[in-house]
Amino acid sequence: MKLKIAFLQLIPGVNIEDNIEKGIKACRKAKAEGADIALFPEMWSSGYVFPHNREWLEQNSVSLESEYVKMFSEIAVELDMAIAVTLLEKHEPKPRNTVCLFDRHGKPVYRYSKVHIIRQRKLCKNILMMTEHVDNFGFAGMIEKQNTCLT
């Protein structure tokens, strides 16, 4: 089975509402071009803003139950296409950088939050990151993830 993945190369807007609108438009275009999965850039909900402080992180983080996340679940159903949406997730003790994969039925089947382990390159080459097990996301197959540290 072949899958067509749309790597959405987008620049985030100035707020979450802009990013929802731009994201849905990009998903529609990806589907029109034959994509089976749309993959958003890292931190799509807020983009990267530097410098930022704890207050900014708290104000710009969103929960997994937010309208932002629900919108992409709904568009996955509408388009019959899997969507991997990224967000600054509201979490304790601090927000985290998360990706949520919805299958083509809008069901959340995979979630991963980025882990920054260590900064010493010699100690972190080819570290296998443990994530929630996924064995079916609307297509036959599994997701495996291997990370290397970037310092």
Domain ranges in the chain? 5-117
A 10 A CB-CB count for 133 gives 8
Residue 93 has pLDDT above 80, yes or no: yes
The architecture of the domain spanning 5-117 is 4-Layer Sandwich (3.60)
1 versus 12: the higher-pLDDT residue is: 12
Percent of the chain with pLDDT over 90: 60
Q: Which of 74, 68, 12 is nearest to 42 (CA)?
A: 12
74 sits in the region (left: phi over 0; alpha: psi -120 to 50; else beta) called: alpha
CA angle 70, 18, 13 (to 5 degrees): 125
Structure tokens at 19: 């990013």
pTM check: above 0.95: no
What does the pLDDT average to over 137-143? 41
Confidence band, pLDDT 50/70/90 cuts, at residue 118: low
- 136-145 contacts at long range (C-beta below 8 A, 24 or more positions apart): 136/103, 136/109, 137/82, 137/101, 137/103, 137/109, 137/110, 138/82, 138/103, 138/104, 138/105, 138/107, 138/109, 139/1, 139/3, 139/36, 139/82, 139/103, 140/1, 141/1, 141/3, 143/101, 143/110, 145/112
What is the model's pLDDT at position 14? 85
Q: What is the pLDDT of residue 31?
A: 98
Residues 55-69 pLDDT 10s: 888 888 999 999 999
